[in-house]
Amino acid sequence: MKFKDIKLFKRKDTDSKQKRSLKRSHLIELLAAIFVIIFLNIIGNYIYTRFDLTSEKRYTLSNATKRLLKDIDETVLVRVYLEGNELPPDFVRLQNETKEMLNQFRAYNKYIEYEFVNPTDFDDPKEQQVFYQKLAQKGIQPSQIEIKTPDGLKQQLVIPAADVMYKGQETSVQLLLGQRYVSEAELINNSVQALEYTLTDAIRRLSRTEKQRIAFLQGHGELERHAIYDIQLALTDYYAMENITLDGNINSLTERVIDSKDSTNISFRNKFKLLVVPKPTKPFSDEDLYIIDQFVMYGGRVLWLIDGLDIEMDSLANRSQTMAMRMDLGLGFDEMMFTYGVRINSNLIMDIRCMPIPMAGGSMGNNPQIEFRPWYYFPEVVPLSKHPIVKNLDVIKSEFVNSIDIIDNEIRKTVLLTTSEYTRVVNAPAVVDLNVAQTEPDPRLFNKANLPIAVLLEGAFKSPWKNRLSPTFTDIPEMGYRSEGDTTKMIVISDGDIIKNAFNYRQNYPYPLGYDKYTNTMYANKTFILNAINYLCGDEDYMESRSREIKIRKLNVAQIKENRLMYQVINTVVPIVIVIVSGVAIVLIRKNRYKKK
């Protein structure tokens, strides 16, 4: 054998060893990858984590929800009826988001169980009808929707609702919000935003053993019951409510308990956690003011919704002008507010950022033409504060609102709502003229900015009756008079109509709180009032998940039409070019690497 043949044989042997070594290396890499995948899956069953890169943290549960899930010690079963073979894309999205939310719940607590049930999967129509009747008894109503098919429009029944069962109790929730005045896309998006709150709210209601009591004050010309129907209906699931009239009854808000063994031992406690004062229009008697003050001194919370001027839109129904006069609630009321730390001014705010109202703008034949004009007396309030009560809230509508002065005392104040940077103040008596809506505003007159119209007060309040009452009265044990109170809180809003829902007298039903029937716009008044009441009652956990916001990132239709060809090229040619360039680069790199070897 020649030397050349020996060298060639050695080279072949070396190449064979390199190939075996390369195969062994690849096999080891494959086994290692499989092992790592299996290992990570096993670890993932015991340790739950995720990275939420969305700007609004849509895949991150709120701290309040985490605390609620942590306290669950029995199985919670959620039975969802949003199931079917031909759901529209929007409802499929709601279905998927519901599953994702329930999976997040289960990741934090093993007692969370859920199932999706197809409400149309019945062979016997009678059984299906009985099933629908049972759902109706729970308050679950199907939604009739239209689906586009090659053969035309098709009607389909969808039930976007769920039953929640916990500790032997059951409640039903609607996954699709009952907002009749928005588009379907907005409706689905709003429902997705509210999923966390909707599901946790049901669990809270089932786990709460006792409801706190709330009183709505009557007897001083406050809003009638049909005007506060929607907010009271929304509060029913969480609180026990009562409409009360004081009439000078010392025990109407604070009760006195006399020890059966020692008649001199008297304990005092408030009957209610919160007192709501919804737009009084008649003066308060000194007796009623004293009763409310002592309710505050013993730790009671108050939500004041007060108008500084007496003015209603109805007064402009048959004439173009009216006069806004000072609302007389009694000198004692003004002194009480001043002592607590605020003053509601007798003025009227005009704001360039305002609601439109329908007005006659001419006629076509015998038909009057209606057009919408800005009504500067109805400011649209955009919350700027980062306080949990108003954080992430949408626009709030107001009507004939007044400014609030903040008085310097020991009470901590937080401004919740303000006007815009283009505000005008008209002092009482103020002329309100409909013709203002027909003229362009003069920016020089709108020279005020960010005037407070809702203020949160927190601290130990002092009684306005201090040093005014005779010792023969204050020393009576049964009166239990306090000149300084326990630490508590109250909210003062200078617009009583913020809590008022419109009412359809023809069909005898109330509109949702915050809904404007003229523009079909839903404002955030209801959420604001609910947040305010939750905060005053110490139920801050309700606010965090209710106020979260998930944005719809819609495509710009006009831009798509204008640059359609460019987007088509980007989506078809660019991926192909990337693949070709990547392939050539890999070949060149491999060729260069093995060439060196």
What residue type is assigned to position 147 of the chain? Answer: I
Angle at 323 between CA 317 and CA 328, to 5 degrees: 115
> Residue 238: how many CA atoms within 13 Å on its side-chain side?
23
Question: Residues of 527-537 as b/e, b for ≥16 C-beta within 10 angstroms?
Answer: bbbbbbbbbbb
Would you say 305 and 399 are in contact if contact means Cβ atoms under 8 Å apart?
no
pLDDT at 151: 67
Q: Which of 114, 108, 273 is nearest to 202 (CA)?
A: 114
Cis peptide before 429 (omega within 30 of 0): yes
In angstroms, rounded to a whole number, what is the distance separating the alpha carbons of residues 245 and 288?
Answer: 9
pLDDT at 552: 46
pLDDT at 55: 57
Maximal CA-CA distance, the chain: 133
- Secondary structure letter of residue 460 according to DSSP: E
In angstroms, rounded to a whole number, what is the distance separating the alpha carbons of residues 292 and 272?
Answer: 12
pLDDT along the chain (597 residues), means of 10: 52 65 76 83 63 60 84 91 80 89 89 89 82 80 69 75 89 73 66 84 83 94 94 90 93 84 80 96 95 95 96 86 92 94 95 89 65 92 90 89 95 96 92 89 90 96 88 80 93 96 86 88 90 89 60 53 77 86 83 67
Tokens at 575, concatenated: 């991926």
**Alpha carbon of 395 to those of 58, 380, 421, 453: distances in Å?**
21, 6, 15, 14
Q: Which of 477, 495, 324, 475 is nearest to 404 (CA)?
A: 495
pLDDT at 114: 93
pLDDT at 536: 95
Rounded to 10 degrees, what is the CA torsion of 352, 313, 433, 422? -10
pLDDT at 180: 44
- Secondary structure letter of residue 217 according to DSSP: E
